[in-house]
Amino acid sequence: MKKISVIWFLCFLCLVSNCQAVKTDQAISKELTQTTTQAAEITDETALSKDAEPVALTRTTAARAVPTKTPMPPPAPTPTVPSWERILPPFSMPLPAAKAAVEELLQTNGGCSLPCWWGIEPGKTSYTDAIDQFSPLSTFIYVKKYDENGSLDAEFQFPVPETNSSREISIIFTVEKGIVQQIEINPGTVHRFTISQVLNDYGVPEEVWVEGLIDPTSNNPFTLFLYYPGLGIEVTYWVDAVVQGDNLLVCPGSIPPTILVLWKPDGVEDFIGFTKRSYDLSYIKDEKRELIPLEQITSQTLEDISKSGCFKTPKNIWPTR
């Protein structure tokens, strides 16, 4: 009987313990549910509130990127600037014979008319033929090569016919692909191409320009350009102007040209376009000079100038240095 009583007592204790455990679990579960709900409500309220404290974020360590080595490009090669190279002629005539030959060429022009010069025709004569013809007469030759395909500038210097003169005549060839394309001549004091002679041989040029500057400390330098685009001829005269009251007197008629530029005419190009391509006049802008067509600076025609040798132009249209 005592055993039965003890068993019942133990059963009773077990029942009581289980009930309390269930109640405890329910209480814990309920407490967790309430906590979760409150946390969710707080989160929602925080998201909706502008004044809410920012929610602390869990710091995450980012993976460290391993830097990659960027290959350096090889240094660009420095372009080679063409320069003049002085060479001696392969063979030369004795000086008296060379002077006599140059004098004859200046008088006859080698039997051809401009833009041909001493038998060299722009756009037709090869540079090799020019070398063969001019080398015996030259004192020095300077060459500036631009590529290996025959593009270069070559300057030849010749003795002037005058006895015991140290001055020289220079001729510059512009060569492309082995062919002479342009000839620039500094004829020195040779009077073969005065204005009257050029007008007589080649007629009135299509454009005539005058460039000048009043310089009280110098000689009022002026330049006259005769431009024949249809013939491939440009003739330049440098002359000093003389002040006469309100005018300047410019007298290029009796002087030889300072520069001749010759080329094979391949179309009509105006003088400004020609200067950009072949004849650098940047000094006019740099020195604040003026370049004006002849008809805008004087009432005299080119024919009048060739007869009198001079023309007048108002001082007030020219800048003063």
Q: Which tokens in the block code for residue 317? A: 């249209």
Convert the pLDDT of each residue in 224-246 to its tens digit.
Answer: 999 999 999 999 999 999 999 99
Mean pLDDT along residues 51-66: 46
Same domain, 158 and 205: no
47 part of a folded domain? no
- Overall number of domains in the chain: 2
Among the ranges given (50-64, 73-87, 89-103), the one the predictor scored with the smallest mean pLDDT: 50-64
Same domain, 256 and 281: yes
- Residue 62 clears pLDDT 70, i.e. is over it: no
Domain region containing 111: 85-186
131 part of a folded domain? yes
Burial profile 95-128: b = 16 or more Cβ within 10 angstroms, e = fewer: eeebbebbeebbeebeeeebbbbbbbbbeebebe
Better pLDDT: 162 or 264: 264
What does the pLDDT read at residue 11?
47
34 part of a folded domain? no
Mean pLDDT along residues 146-175: 82
What does the pLDDT read at residue 71?
61
pTM, 2 dp: 0.71
How many whole angstroms separate alpha carbon 238 and alpha carbon 253?
Answer: 11
How many whole angstroms separate alpha carbon 7 and alpha carbon 13?
Answer: 10
Top-confidence range, 18-22, 187-191, 224-228: 224-228
Convert the pLDDT of each residue in 208-222 to its tens digit.
Answer: 999 999 988 888 999
What does the pLDDT read at residue 51?
44
What does the pLDDT read at residue 321?
82
Last residue within a domain, chosen from 158, 186, 214: 186
Convert the pLDDT of each residue in 84-104 to its tens digit.
Answer: 888 877 778 898 999 899 989
26 part of a folded domain? no
Same domain, 209 and 161: no
Same domain, 251 and 164: no
**Percent of the chain whose predicted confidence (pLDDT) is above 70:** 70
73 part of a folded domain? no
How many whole angstroms separate alpha carbon 238 and alpha carbon 76?
Answer: 45
162 part of a folded domain? yes
Same domain, 204 and 270: yes
Convert the pLDDT of each residue in 114-137 to its tens digit.
Answer: 999 999 999 999 999 999 999 999
How many whole angstroms separate alpha carbon 168 and alpha carbon 145?
Answer: 23
Same domain, 202 and 302: yes
**E strand or H helix at 249:** strand 247-250
Same domain, 120 and 219: no
- Residue 18 clears pLDDT 60, i.e. is over it: no
SS3 for 161?
coil
Q: How do the residues of the chain divide into helix, strand and coil, expressed in percent and rounded to 5? A: 35, 25, 40
- Residue 191 clears pLDDT 50, i.e. is over it: yes
Last residue within a domain, chosen from 186, 219, 249: 186
- Residue 75 clears pLDDT 80, i.e. is over it: no
Same domain, 199 and 165: no
137 part of a folded domain? yes
Same domain, 174 and 206: no
What does the pLDDT read at residue 266?
77
236 part of a folded domain? yes
Dump the DSSP string for 224-240: EEEEETTTTEEEEEEEE
Last residue within a domain, chosen from 148, 165, 186: 186
Same domain, 270 and 202: yes
**Percent of the chain whose predicted confidence (pLDDT) is above 90:** 45
Better pLDDT: 5 or 235: 235
Dump the DSSP string for 119-147: TB-TTTSBHHHHHHHHGGG-SEEEEEE--
Same domain, 244 and 156: no
The answer to whether 310 and 299 have CB atoms below 8 angstroms apart is no
- Name the DSSP letter for residue 186: E
Better pLDDT: 38 or 276: 276
Q: How far is CA 210 from CA 86, 175, 266, 272, 295, in A?
A: 35, 29, 25, 13, 10
- Residue 273 clears pLDDT 60, i.e. is over it: yes
Same domain, 159 and 201: no
Better pLDDT: 26 or 241: 241
Indicate the average pLDDT of the chain.
Answer: 78
